[in-house]
Structure 1
């Protein structure tokens, strides 16, 4: 059993059995590829079935010198999943990473933007440029609907249910959910769709894709990051932000204004409420105000 074939089998398992997205499969595969490169560089000849706990411990030790604790923890988790798959397929009896502990991590709170900062980013968009209306619609959709980057780039025209006040979002593992859309976000999407997009020469395979690049094709994740980075620079924003920052801001602002945590969980597409609960740690001042206002012993 060689590494290359086993990795292909593992990728098929993640896609077909686990229903993971292409991005998740790529990330899991990179963990295994890091291990195989290290084995080659150190001239260690071993297979996925025969690799020992000692060899993996040395790999983790060497790799830990060049990556931060969070990346190290993710790498260990990814490799544990790979060897769990081998046990599932009866190739191994034990997981050689079972006793290897990931570094302890503090809970990382997501960065958020104030409403004024979001307004300044939107105001920095040059609406006279070719992509101005599109970029405004993109930012409004990221913030107004709390989408992940991959959910935004894959959003279809057929996913827009404006009459019902929802959009259909395809999230991780191809799981779909309905997210309410505000009149403002709907307005700017409609302007882009009816006044700008219609003048594009569109690639047939992307005819149903909402947001397109100048060549009439689906936007890449990298392009969305570039749009956000350039807007932050133009607006003079000192924070380091990404498209995901709008998703965090969406959830935080909803919570601060009294939204139910379960409702936020559904809109974000979180499987576990524990993931959504991180937003309760962001603004302790706001939580103190809630206690002072609503608790009978205030």
Structure 2
């Protein structure tokens, strides 16, 4: 029996059928525009999307892809699934590229959402290209719809993009993605709310969740990588983060040592939250208000942090540093005094902790400093260590210097022939070398003194450096010796490479351990032997006080003894020359 519909309902059905046909035609046109995909693959996608009543390729996502994969199992032979899926991906990627050509699409591109992110469908198709040949597609799925704190998920999202946009080779990218996935799973399972506030015990727990030393070595770097990525990317500086990455701050060039920069400050070691916050506030003041060098600030920071770590054990969790008394401070300094540190280091700790308490007093946290520095500071006695490099070692290195890389050869000559600090050599600029009159000179910025020094240099080194600068097109403001990014050559890299090549070339039979500062002692000692005054030597080395310069002149006791012998060998200077013989009883 035929079904009879009212007129209005029949018109709606007819309209609906027409609408469906219109939508099908529109879908077919969109898919057929993807000419880079073969017709058979396009037709299969058309059939599937029509059944699912999906009318725009922009609506395709990873979940629909998973449904399409199941659909293919009934439609095509198993050996063909991969190619049909690849066709599906090509159509989706075509849609993404079209969307990114619009302003609305670009604005929407990289925003976090509680959805699944499939990396081949990343809005930035230039980034997605690196996953083109990945065979394990499941590893490219990042599920941000999981039930977990949103702050943490947003942070993982930031880290993920930091990894895939880093530009490193695919092997490193894959290793970092695998490590991040393990870290993300751990954070979800353990309800981590904020990566920047991870405690040491939580990091240890993550380490213990990894099976064996090999997996730990391949994975644990992701914790620091993640915290750094988040700290650097936030709109505002998170002063309450447990680790600060100083790359985020734009310090005056006079406050940093480009050859050995301070990379981070970690507050996580202080478990008392109140003390940690006070230390963070103090360091915020130190970094932002004072003009101290960052390396000096870091030294003070470590001393204060060590004291607060000691308080974590000594005091109840409910108390903080504002409640310490003279007895507690006496116990702490007594423990430091018997720890074996030198008097000068001990005094530095006393002053660092005093500065911290002075800050707390100014801020109204305490009424008085709970110790008197006058009773604690110790008298210091300069200790001298002979560090000069023997003539034999110097000559052997020079004879084998042509086996060293070009940069190391030239950097070594600055130590051996001029006596610069290694960090000064690493930070030399292209305009450092010049001629004044008939002499060659070098201009060196001294981090400690916050000023330039200008000293004469051997003409041979000047000529070698001018050739090197021309060869590599080094401009006046460029670093002469550069790292991979064009910054100053790292002091640690220089030292490591010198040790490596000294060992490789069997310097002193392979027993020689390169120490850059020993060459400053050597130059100072040679100059002093040549009767250069202490004052002249002080200015040449760039010291503030003569007492420091004396510490660089080696074998001083031997020199004094030798001078005494020479003096008293002369008859007029004999100890007995002024004694007259007298008769007994005279």
**Aligned partners of 2:552, 2:391: CA distance in 1, in Å?**
16
**Aligned partners of 1:97, 1:119: CA distance in 2, in Å?**
53
2:446 is the alignment partner of 1:139: no
**Aligned partners of 2:305, 2:320: CA distance in 1, in Å?**
14
Partner residue in 2 for 1:74: 345
CA contact (8 A) 1:151 1:169 kept: yes
**Aligned partners of 1:225, 1:169: CA distance in 2, in Å?**
20
**Aligned partners of 2:354, 2:302: CA distance in 1, in Å?**
14
2:284 is the alignment partner of 1:8: yes
Go from structure 1 to structure 2 and tell me whether the alpha carbon gap of 1:76 and 1:260 turns closer, same or farther (over 3 Å shift): closer
How far is 1:60 from its partner?
Answer: 3.5
Partner residue in 2 for 1:58: 331
**Aligned partners of 1:61, 1:239: CA distance in 2, in Å?**
39
Task: List aligned pairs for 1:1-298, cutoff 5 A.
Answer: 2-12=278-288, 15-16=290-291, 20-44=292-316, 45-47=319-321, 50-63=323-336, 68-70=340-342, 73-84=344-355, 86-87=357-358, 91=362, 93-94=368-369, 96=371, 98=373, 99-102=375-378, 107-127=383-403, 132-163=405-436, 165-171=440-446, 172-195=448-471, 197-198=472-473, 208-213=478-483, 216-233=486-503, 234=505, 235-236=507-508, 238-280=511-553, 282-290=555-563, 297=573
Go from structure 1 to structure 2 and tell me whether the alpha carbon gap of 1:273 and 1:76 turns closer, same or farther (over 3 Å shift): closer
Q: Which has the larger radius of gyration?
A: 2
CA contact (8 A) 1:122 1:139 kept: no
Q: Give SS of 1:180's match.
A: strand
How far is 1:165 from its partner?
Answer: 1.8
Go from structure 1 to structure 2 and tell me whether the alpha carbon gap of 1:121 and 1:21 turns closer, same or farther (over 3 Å shift): farther
CA contact (8 A) 1:136 1:188 kept: no
Unaligned runs of 5+ in 2: 1-276, 575-586
Of 21-30 and 132-141, deviating more is 21-30
CA contact (8 A) 2:521 2:553 kept: no
**Aligned partners of 2:418, 2:355: CA distance in 1, in Å?**
36
How far is 1:217 from its partner?
Answer: 3.4
How far is 1:106 from its partner?
Answer: 6.1
The aligned length equals 282
Q: Give SS of 1:179's match.
A: strand
Q: Give SS of 1:2's match.
A: helix
How far is 1:175 from its partner?
Answer: 1.9
**Aligned partners of 1:62, 1:184: CA distance in 2, in Å?**
53
TM-score normalized with structure 2 length = 0.43
CA contact (8 A) 1:169 1:177 kept: yes
Go from structure 1 to structure 2 and tell me whether the alpha carbon gap of 1:110 and 1:215 turns closer, same or farther (over 3 Å shift): farther
**Aligned partners of 2:485, 2:359: CA distance in 1, in Å?**
45
TM-score normalized with structure 1 length = 0.78
- For residues 133-152 of structure 1, what are the alpha-carbon distances to aligned partners after superposition, in whole Å with 9 as ceiling and x for unaligned? 21111011122222222222
- For residues 94-125 of structure 1, what are the alpha-carbon distances to aligned partners after superposition, in whole Å with 9 as ceiling and x for unaligned? 47251224486661324111233222223333
**Aligned partners of 1:28, 1:216: CA distance in 2, in Å?**
30
Unaligned runs of 5+ in 1: none
**Aligned partners of 2:330, 2:499: CA distance in 1, in Å?**
39
- For residues 197-239 of structure 1, what are the alpha-carbon distances to aligned partners after superposition, in whole Å with 9 as ceiling and x for unaligned? 34xxx8x9x9611112355432111112213322442313635
How far is 1:5 from its partner?
Answer: 0.6
How far is 1:266 from its partner?
Answer: 0.2
How far is 1:63 from its partner?
Answer: 4.7
Partner residue in 1 for 2:41: none
Of 103-112 and 160-169, deviating more is 103-112
